[in-house]
């Protein structure tokens, strides 16, 4: 199992505070020591930093701390290997291009016996269940839509495909294309929305506080999503089981009731 | 126009010495100040570091200098924007997955009026001629072959496709899938193979020397490819115009005479 961290904002924001607590779970306050990665969208572009070292000790993670990149969509992951050895090819987040945009994905959980048919457009490079699931999800979308569809159609097909994938096991994930962030919970995922009036937050994993009022303007809004709450003096909202939430401009969007609870659709040929 | 740097080795090697001279051309000894990027393959995995800052001043480039990653295939690029503004999405090298492997590409040159048909599998995210050419090349390969073909068939189709692309302008490029490196010259590309007995090399762009005998074993072999020679006391071999060379295990492979001089094949539908 692994740990997930996502950030979706209405203005480019650095993730230094959240990442500093999160990275300690990679070998220091928790045992997810099999590599880590973090992806930052900047417009349509994306930078993905990966390392096979534990995030608590990684020089790449030190660099992220010392070089506060600002982004509207960030996905980070620290790994406890279940399927697939410790290697760069098996390190999340994974990235692919679809419909002329980058898509970035990270997964927490374990999918048993998940062997989808070979993708027409997307195939895994490493040997994790997670990358298989990501490629299968994108391939399903890409086979149905030659160009990016209206969001409601996209959301519906993601929901159906995710319902089939999660029938194989635990499938907590965060996915972004730089425009919005989709987060799905099987067993454990929390979020918080920070907006004016900003207050002081204190990390769970390290005795560090920050007063967001010093760092923000009154228009800023930031949603942070994590496997477990990162702060101990704020109220984090747990996802429901099998809930697929969309975040845009730093807040969750409302979706039609029941749209996330559709019947699972198996892949053609499966 | 831009500058290219490639390294292909028979054992994982760091690129610190070559990169240190090369990066100075990004804003210090030359005027390629519109961003830079460097990709390292590690097995099937790849890490791509990108920055929109000039490489001579970039903190990402400082990190690369201070954290000597070892790799058998490295591609670096410093950018002087011709088509497409300065942005992360327009920064080389570009990366895509094909046949379950990552492919990384960087281009020097300018393609006029190059507007290939929309890809079935690969589409550009940014707005450079370079990424269009990369996507078109991969799409052509992927449409012909559902799985990775024997190398001679792959090489022939790359040659044909490249011949069509270069009819639009200058197309110096380096491409790798982590197993081999392909380098094509329109106007300017040089390479050197370093192997035992190793000697001392001195950079063109900075008064720095290194004695490779101190850093290597007698079995090591490293090919370095660059737009312009990086050292002033070694013999660099220029590519011929329109030459497409394959590097594997640190040396160029011999190809059948004339195989790179086939007729250009336009895309279907073009």
Q: Flag whether pLDDT at A261 surpasses 60.
A: no
ipTM score: 0.92
pLDDT of residue B266: 52
**Residues of chain A neighbouring B126 (CB-CB closer than 8 A):** 44-45
Per-residue pLDDT tens digits for B118-161: 999 999 999 999 999 999 999 999 999 999 999 999 999 999 99
Per-residue pLDDT tens digits for A49-61: 999 998 888 899 9
Q: What are residue A192's DSSP bridge partners?
A: A224
Distances (CA, A) of B185 to A270, B162, B177: 46, 10, 19
Q: Do B91 and A123 touch (CB under 8 A)?
A: no
Report, as an integer, the average pLDDT of B182-193: 97
Structural domains in chain B? 3-261 (3.60.20.10)
Out of A87, A101, A123, name the one closest to residue B99 (CB).
A123
Out of B63, B88, B126, name the one closest to residue A47 (CB).
B88
> Which residue in chain A is spatially nearest to B51 when comparing CA positions?
A47
Q: Which of B89, B92, B177 to mutate to test the interface with A (most CBs of A within 10 A)?
A: B89
Distances (CA, A) of A30 to A22, A227, A234, B229: 10, 13, 21, 48
**Residues of chain A neighbouring B125 (CB-CB closer than 8 A):** 44-45, 97, 100-102
pLDDT of residue B5: 96
**Residues of chain B neighbouring A122 (CB-CB closer than 8 A):** 97
Nearest in space to A137 (alpha carbons), one of A150, A111, B173:
A111
Q: Flag whether pLDDT at A258 surpasses 60.
A: no
Per-residue pLDDT tens digits for A26-51: 777 777 788 999 999 999 999 999 99
Chain A, 105-124: which have a CB under 8 Å from a chain B CB? Answer: 121-124
Residue B206 forms contact with A (CB below 8 Å): no
pLDDT of residue A255: 67
**Residues of chain A neighbouring B59 (CB-CB closer than 8 A):** 63, 67
Report, as an integer, the average pLDDT of A102-116: 96
> Which residue in chain A is spatially nearest to B58 when comparing CA positions?
A67
Q: Which of A51, A63, A101, A145 to mutate to test the interface with B (most CBs of B within 10 A)?
A: A63
Q: Do B45 and A88 touch (CB under 8 A)?
A: yes
Contacts of B257 (CB under 8 A, 6+ apart): none
pLDDT of residue A259: 52
Among residues A2, A9, A135, A185, the one annotated as catalytic is: A2
pLDDT of residue B32: 77
Report, as an integer, the average pLDDT of A104-130: 96
Q: Flag whether pLDDT at A9 surpasses 80.
A: yes
The C-alpha of A124 sits at a distance from chain B's nearest C-alpha, in angstroms, of 5
pLDDT of residue B262: 44
Q: Do B89 and A63 touch (CB under 8 A)?
A: no
The C-alpha of B96 sits at a distance from chain A's nearest C-alpha, in angstroms, of 7
pLDDT of residue B206: 87
Q: Flag whether pLDDT at A150 surpasses 90.
A: yes
Q: Flag whether pLDDT at A203 surpasses 70.
A: yes
Residue B135 bears catalytic tag: no
Torsion angle in degrees (nearest 10) through CA of B64, B68, B72, B74: 10
Task: Tell the burial category of A255 from Cβ atoms under 10 Å away from its Cβ (0-12, 13-18, 19+).
Answer: middle
Report, as an integer, the average pLDDT of A226-235: 94
Q: How many CB atoms lie within 10 A of CB B214?
A: 8
Per-residue pLDDT tens digits for B156-181: 999 999 999 999 999 999 999 999 99
Out of A42, A63, A99, name the one closest to residue B63 (CB).
A63
Q: Is the previous residue joined to B210 through a cis bond, with omega within 30 degrees of 0?
A: no
């Amino acid at each position: 199992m692994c740990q997930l961290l996502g950030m979706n904002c209405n203005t480019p924001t650095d993730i230094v505070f959240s990442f500093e607590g999160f990275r300690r779970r990679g070998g220091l306050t928790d045992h997810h020591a099999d590599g880590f990665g973090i992806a930052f969208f900047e417009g349509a572009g994306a930078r993905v930093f990966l390392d096979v070292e534990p995030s608590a000790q990684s020089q790449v993670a030190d660099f992220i701390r010392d070089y506060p990149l600002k982004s509207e969509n960030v996905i980070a992951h620290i790994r406890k290997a279940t399927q697939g050895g410790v290697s760069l090819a098996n390190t999340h987040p994974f990235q692919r291009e679809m419909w002329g945009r980058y898509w970035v994905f990270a997964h927490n959980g374990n999918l048993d016996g998940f062997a989808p048919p070979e993708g027409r457009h997307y195939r895994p490079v490493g040997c994790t269940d997670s990358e298989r699931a990501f490629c299968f999800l994108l391939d399903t979308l890409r086979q149905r839509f030659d160009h990016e569809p209206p969001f409601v159609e996209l959301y519906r097909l993601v929901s159906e495909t995710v319902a089939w994938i999660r029938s194989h096991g635990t499938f907590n994930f965060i996915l972004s294309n730089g425009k919005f962030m989709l987060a799905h919970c099987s067993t454990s995922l929390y979020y918080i929305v920070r907006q004016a009036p900003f207050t002081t937050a204190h990390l769970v994993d390290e005795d560090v506080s920050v007063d967001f009022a010093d760092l923000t303007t009154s228009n800023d809004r930031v949603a942070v999503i994590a496997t477990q709450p990162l702060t101990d003096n704020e109220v984090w909202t747990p996802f429901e089981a099998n809930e697929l939430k969309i975040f845009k401009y730093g807040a969750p969007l409302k979706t039609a009731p029941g749209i996330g609870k559709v019947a699972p659709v198996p892949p053609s040929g499966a």
